[in-house]
Structure formats: structure tokens, C-alpha cells
Amino acid sequence: MTFASLGLIEPLLRSLETLGYQTPTPVQAQAIPAVLAGRDLMAAAQTGTGKTAGFALPLLQLLTMEGPKVTANSARALILVPTRELAEQVHEAVRQYAENLPLRTYAVYGGVSINPQMMKLRGGVDVLVATPGRLIDLFRQNALKLDQLQTLVLDEADRMLDLGFSEELANIYRMLPKKRQTLLFSATFSDDIRLLAGQMLNDPLSVEVSPRNVAANTVKQWIVTVDKKRKAELFVHLMRKNKWKQVLVFAKTRNGVDALVEKLQGLGVNADGIHGDKPQATRQRALDRFKLSEVQILVATDVAARGLDIEDLPLVVNFDLPIVAEDYIHRIGRTGRAGATGEAISLVCADEVNMLSAIEMLTRQTLKRQNEPDFEPEHRVPDTDASGQVVKKPKKPKKPKTSGGGGKRNLGKWVESGESQTPEPSIKPVRKVPVFNTGPRKRKP
């Protein structure tokens, strides 16, 4: 199969030839004809398999072949993404695909001045890539109109819900023309996303070119168990032992990112960090230096789990496991892209056993464990498996009750000394799904 056989026009084929694209990926082969036919679509595929081209190529062709010329302060197609980094990446890809077309493209996001963006939109753009918050700001300041919108693309919609954009998505939905084409692309689809799709899409075609929520098989994965207080020490040990050259590290919090970067820099390691508190220019500079190998270790929160396209990245380290299991797939998807191989190591402490269990259940695999000599944890990480169960050691039989005691009284039950009845904490994120039908409720007779 070729891109020409999918019905793409000659200017797009020239752009693809320049970029070295030869054969459509499975998601592209299924999505491109469906989008060209005007269908609503929800497509799931592993990260790094070409989802952006899957929606951008047919979208650009439809805008070239159909519809009136864009008017001032308007957009004909809107691509919504969750992060600034992903907005830049998607826009750059769209710009390259549209090199030989008479179309204007632009990206808007927060963290930078809104005034230049307002000026750019005065002439109108054919394709606008945007984060939800900045899009709403521009709309409310009358810098953007959506009357001409033909197509809406939700890219990484599950991440938008994870980041708390549910209310913004509901507001955007009310701003859009009812007659439009809607495309939903993501590496994973939670049940919440499927509910969202049912509200926003019209008779969508569903495309899943890989098993749902499965990590790429090009990534070798394993975990190293360690006590929480020794994670930084273990990371430095592994870095020196294995002579790591370029590593993307994920930490759970912004403070965690800063603390690890400070420790590494104190040891003379060329490290930098990115998270939501840093200005966009600072984040972009750190990412650019990492891509050029000027930075050896880049530490990030999940703001970098999607939207970072780094060629030949050999290793991803989960310094902390993500609270949302789906983010694990996106994190390790930064390596092993486009057919290359990569490695993903997770440093896991006892407090993270429920997150580990959720990841293994989601990915349908039990991650291989290993202990690093001299770093064996004092607080054992319970065994887990792909069924989602935490496998506990069998308890010792209880001693029979005697008049002299022999146990500890706990809510009327006898337990062995040192035995806990505190249940394992269940870490389950709560995400609000936007509800768009807000009409008055009918009263019961």
C-alpha cells in the first residue's frame, strides 16, 4: 500500500516524499480514507505509530478542496491538545505536511503573551492547534470566531481529562457549530473517553490498530525495588554503573523534579527539568538542549509524557510511578518509537504497590523485577501480577484466645502483635467527564 493509493493529492505526496515517508502505518491506512469520506472517527493506536499524520493529512486535503476562504479572526479546523509541548509538535508536523498547500496554520497555548497570538489570528488561519484554556481566552476576547469551523480534532483527549480540562471541553463544545466533522485520536481510550466520544461524535467509525492499552513491544521494561528515601541515591548509582548518556526521567511532582535536578547538578551532571511552573521559553530551551545532547538527564512531570518526539531516545526512567496508569504507557512511549528499540526502568517503593498493580493490569503483563545489590528495600514491595491483585504473604495462624491475653485488642478482634488491619490504600483518580445536556430535569408526577 502507498499514500497515493489512499487518495491523497499530489502536493501532499510531494511533502511526504520530502519527509521520507514511504508506506502508511496501520492507523494511517485506516484513518485517512475514513476522514476523507467525511466520517467522524475515534482511533486508538500505540504512541509513535503516526497518529498525527493519520488526521492531519486528510484534514489538509479537505480544507484545500472544500469550503470557502477563511475570514478574519476565524479558523476552519481546530486541533485541541493537552500541553504546550504537544501543541508545538503537532503544529510543526502540520506545517511540514502543508508545505505545498495554500493554507495557513498556527498554534496557540498559555504560558506566553496572548497579544502576538491575537495579532496573528486577525488574518484568519486554516488550521489552529490550541490548548483548551488559551482557546477559550481568545474566544472570550473576540480574537477568534468558530463559525467557519469544519473539523474538530481531539488529540490525547484522555490526557485533557486527566489534567482537569473537562469543564473547558464542555465550554468549547458549546462554542462550536453543530454541523462539523469530529475526530478523536489517542494512544489509549478509557471508559470516560468513550463516554465523551458518545456525546461529541456522530456515528463514529472506531479504529483500533493495536490491543487496547498495550505498551509498545519495542520497549524492554522492568522495575527495581527500593526504599523511597534511597531513590535518588539508586538513580545516581545506576546512571554511573550503566554509563547512561541520554535519559528522560519522570517524577510525580514539580518539587520532585527540582530536587532531583538540584542533586544531579550538585554532582556535576548536566541535568535540567521541565514542569508546569516553568515559563514556556524555559521549558522549550531545556527540551531543545536535550534533543541536541547538550543535557544528559532531563527530568519532567507528566507534562512531558506526551508531545515529546525525540529521535533514538534509548532510555526512560520512572523515578516515581504515575498516579494514572494510562500515563505509564505514554511515558515509556517516548522511547522505542518508529520501530526502534528502547528501555524503560521504574524505581518502585512499597508505597507505590497499588499504582504498580494498576499498571500491570492495564498493560496485561507482570513487569520483571530485580534488586540492585546494596539497595534492597527494608520495606518489601508486595508481589503483584497482571490480574491487578496485590499478592500478600499468607498470615500466620492466630493463637487461640486465652484468659491471660496473648494478643492485642483491636475493635473486638484478636490480632497477632505487629499485624495490621489497615486495608491497602486504593489509589484511583477521579476524573470528571463533561456533560453537555444541561436542560431542566423533569419532575416526577
Residue range 65-112, pLDDT digits in tens = 987 899 999 999 999 998 888 899 899 999 999 999 999 999 999 989
Q: Give the pLDDT confidence score for residue 405 in this predicted structure.
A: 46
| Pair 340, 286 in one domain | yes
> Looking at beta carbons, which pairs linking 281-285 to residues 24 or more positions away fall under 8 Å?
281/112, 283/84, 283/85, 283/111, 284/85, 284/88
| Pair 141, 245 in one domain | no
| Pair 156, 11 in one domain | yes
| Pair 188, 242 in one domain | no
Number of Cβ within a 10 Å radius of residue 332: 28
Instruction: Select from 208, 242, 257 the last residue of a domain.
Output: 208
Q: First CA to last CA across the chain, in angstroms?
A: 61
Q: Evaluate whether residue 332 is within a structural domain.
A: yes
Higher pLDDT pick, 176 / 388? 176
pTM, two decimals, is: 0.63
Q: Evaluate whether residue 259 is within a structural domain.
A: yes
Residue closest to 86 by CA, chosen among 51, 118, 60: 51
Higher pLDDT pick, 128 / 284? 128
Instruction: Select from 148, 174, 208 the last residue of a domain.
Output: 208
| Pair 204, 229 in one domain | no
Whether the predicted pLDDT of 424 surpasses 50: no
Residue whose grid cell is 484466645: 401
What's the structural domain count of the chain?
2
| Pair 105, 194 in one domain | yes
| Pair 339, 203 in one domain | no
Residue whose grid cell is 545516581: 236
Exposure on the CB side of residue 428, measured as CA atoms within 13 A: 4
The boundaries of the domain holding residue 20 are: 4-208
CA 130 from chain centre, in angstroms, equals 16
Mean pLDDT in residue range 123-132: 96
240: Cβ contacts below 8 Å, ≥ 6 apart? none
Residue whose grid cell is 509541548: 85
Q: Evaluate whether residue 409 is within a structural domain.
A: no
Whether the predicted pLDDT of 339 surpasses 90: no
The beta strand positions in 131-264, using DSSP E, are 151-155, 181-186, 205-208, 219-225, 247-250
Q: Give the pLDDT confidence score for residue 5 in this predicted structure.
A: 93
Instruction: Select from 208, 229, 254 the last residue of a domain.
Output: 208
Whether the predicted pLDDT of 408 surpasses 60: no
How much is the mean pLDDT over the chain?
83
| Pair 189, 126 in one domain | yes
What CATH number is associated with residue 92?
Answer: 3.40.50.300
Task: Measure the CA angle with vertex 305, ends 164 and 433; round to 5°.
Answer: 25
Higher pLDDT pick, 161 / 61? 61
| Pair 34, 173 in one domain | yes
| Pair 193, 274 in one domain | no
Mean pLDDT in residue range 393-418: 45
Q: Give the pLDDT confidence score for residue 357 in this predicted structure.
A: 92
Exposure on the CB side of residue 228, measured as CA atoms within 13 A: 10
| Pair 8, 118 in one domain | yes
Contact present, 107 and 91 (Cβ < 8 Å): yes
| Pair 168, 227 in one domain | no
Q: Evaluate whether residue 251 is within a structural domain.
A: yes
Q: Give the pLDDT confidence score for residue 341 in this predicted structure.
A: 78
Q: Give the pLDDT confidence score for residue 409 in this predicted structure.
A: 41
Higher pLDDT pick, 209 / 37? 37
